[in-house]
Structure 1
Amino acid sequence: MTLISPSAELLRRARRVRRGALDLAQCSDAQRRGALEAMAAALERHGDAIVAANTVDREAAAREGLAAPLVARLKLTGAKLAGCIHGLRQVAALPDPIGHRQLHRQLAAGLELERVTVPVGVLGVVFESRPDAVIQIAALAIRSGNGAILKGGREALNTCQAIVTALQDGLASSAVDPESLDLLTSREEIMALLQLDELVDLIVPRGSNAFVSTVQENTRIPVLGHADGVCHLYVDQRANIDMAVAVALDAKTQYPAACNAIETLLVHRRVARQFLPPAIQAFTAAGVTLRGDEQAMALGVSEAATQEDWGQEYLDLILAVRVVEDLEAALDHIRRYGSRHTDVICTDDEAAAARFLNTVDSAGVFHNCSSRFADGFRYGLGAEVGISTQTMPPRGPVGLEGLVTYRYRLRGHGHTVAPFASGNQHFTHRDLQGA
């Protein structure tokens, strides 16, 4: 990646978003709720134009031979748009994340300390293909009091522009400045965005492993996100076979282009003969290509897996299958090849489940349920700005709580440090009610 100096125009627009964000942070809960309702109503008014723009983008993508997973993410029908609008209204109904007093402490007589949640500031969010992400990100940004500079993939340009036009139209009728949101349209602007550390507070890249890594290496702005989504499902020796087949099938086929779809299926050797035949039948019927190790191939998997398959994020109807010796071997495999996104165990053995849940160092670790539940909307967060696989918070689907920070506020009456340093005055450090 070659970094590009921000143009005068980009600097002007970024400063405009910054000013909008400062004003937005002063808006009341009711005003921000009202802004989201205005955005939802505007999306409904502009619905036909948005779907038409998406049709243009999809037709262009088809002509250019865009990869199938990206095409799947690009599609925005009227029904899907209605779901996005519903999700936006759900975000509006969530509790206000700003102004929560996390700590209230008397340091000494008349000297009181508070720690209060506040917006991050300005978010720079870059994503591929999914134009519906514009709606989710904008909703979360405005609800949490943050400005946002958005950049969708080139393949979704017309759709993104139509959505942002609608959102800004909605904001124009609210108490929130429409300039709190902006949309970048060129790859060059992404490179320049990474240098705006005085105007942008957080970068959220949503794309390939290589892209996310490059962003992390070429900016001084904090970066939140994940690279690969190499998710695993492990079928333990005491799994319910029918349930495990159903969960694995959903985790792979319900939406294979998603980062929370499983890419590798691990099967305990003692249950492989019972599990794999019905699983192979179900996956084959669903159009899934299976690539297995020698033991899996001996039980019916037709294609051989290579070493590269174990760390591959297919985002397609392809699944790597490996027969493992036991739970510990499954844990070792996940530790070596996983991306710390979401991993699943299917078992009726509570001890095995506890070992898995306590050992796998992923943002989401599930027992007897599909990895596809790893989603901000399904977690009740309303939506998500992205998924973070880093160890430090926020981790997993990042909703409103992940888009606020906190500020210490200290109130005194002419207090100085000298008397405390000399021992003439002493700290009480007494927690107060209402912390």
Structure 2
Amino acid sequence: MQKFHDKTDINAKKYLTGSNFIDYRTQPRAYKSYPSFFLSFNLDDFEELKFIKNIGKITASKTYGNVKVDLRANPSAGGLYPSEIYIQLRGIKSLVNGIYHYEAIENKITLIHELSNDGVEYYFEDKFQKKIIFLISNAYFRSDWKYEKRAIRYILLDTGHLLGSIYAALELEKIPFNIDFNFDKNSLNEDFSFDKFESFYTSVFTQIHKELECKKLRTPIVNVSACDYQLKENFIEEFYIEAQKDFFPIVSNINLLNDLKKEDLQEAINNRRSIRAFKKEEISKDDFLFITKNIFEFAQKYEIEIYFINNNVKDMKKGLYKNVNLQKEGDFKEIATKLALNQKLSGDSAITLFFTAKNSEEYFYLYILTGFISQILYLRSTHLNISCSGLGAYFDDISKEFLETENNIFYLFAIGK
């Protein structure tokens, strides 16, 4: 995976010589919608399914000139939202067992395949019927249009953000679940008629519905374009093919939000935003410990190493930390800003985290889990009325030099007031 990562890095030369012009009139559509002859159902009409809207619902809208922008429960690089969600449902009262597409804009699910003895379980090692299965796909051109090759990083992070939103929605209802990266994605992509423009990245499944093994989907699913127009990008398609190793352990028993009361978590989901500027106010050490509760342990379990610069946490020495250990003492606000392509958010924050990992065959999965962890940080910070923002653009080379690591830099995440 290193060759792909290296080809998407940002260094001083690329930063100074790269083109900054983007014709926003050419932006592809950022959501997928099935034709009106497909059956659709409002989520609020099904008590068991109301929680689903917390995954990607519209939580606010802003107007820039004549353009209205809808903000969703999950963040996305550039507001491009490459990720789509498909949900297979069984045993829901008054709803046919089937595969549905989640349409956040309209708070509805659209039936795209009615189940018989078939199901997406067929493409997994455990083929027993599950009650609910979430599948996250990505329509890569939505991100490629703006970010070109570096889009592979943002797509993985956006997948993780959405995965974190699914986790939060399930946590609201105390529904047990597992995250499974290991399934026959290529066959499932083919049976969903994606034609490589869209591809599955990961899944979440809940409890067993019946101990019956599923058959292969009996008919291909109708192809509906995820964008209003699309262009091929061989680099991203090649990355996707080479990234699939299908050996990553199932992620379960996650305890990153279970200490929040239901009403507090719901409020955090509703209010989560990405901040545009900090007031440079300090946060307490207790707030820092609350926001990062169990985060470092979870990351280390999957060999993600988190560094952070303490700019303004009270009663903690200013400096660079690796996990929770001080590496270099000092005021690094200016260097934090520089590393983040001179974005002031990184230096004006109380803390700026650097997610890193060694070069490995688990690159694809660790990058997604980085986005997942970041979504948890968003929610825990929001609960305390503390702001944050992910920073996907940074100097790869000098960040590694400052951190004194050979790890790849995956993401910067700024938290503060």
Indicate the TM-score class for this superposition, using the shorter chain for normalisation. under 0.3
TM-score, structure 2 normalization: 0.27
Relative contact order, CA 8 A, sep 6+: which one is greater?
Answer: 1
TM-score, structure 1 normalization: 0.26
Higher Cα radius of gyration = 1
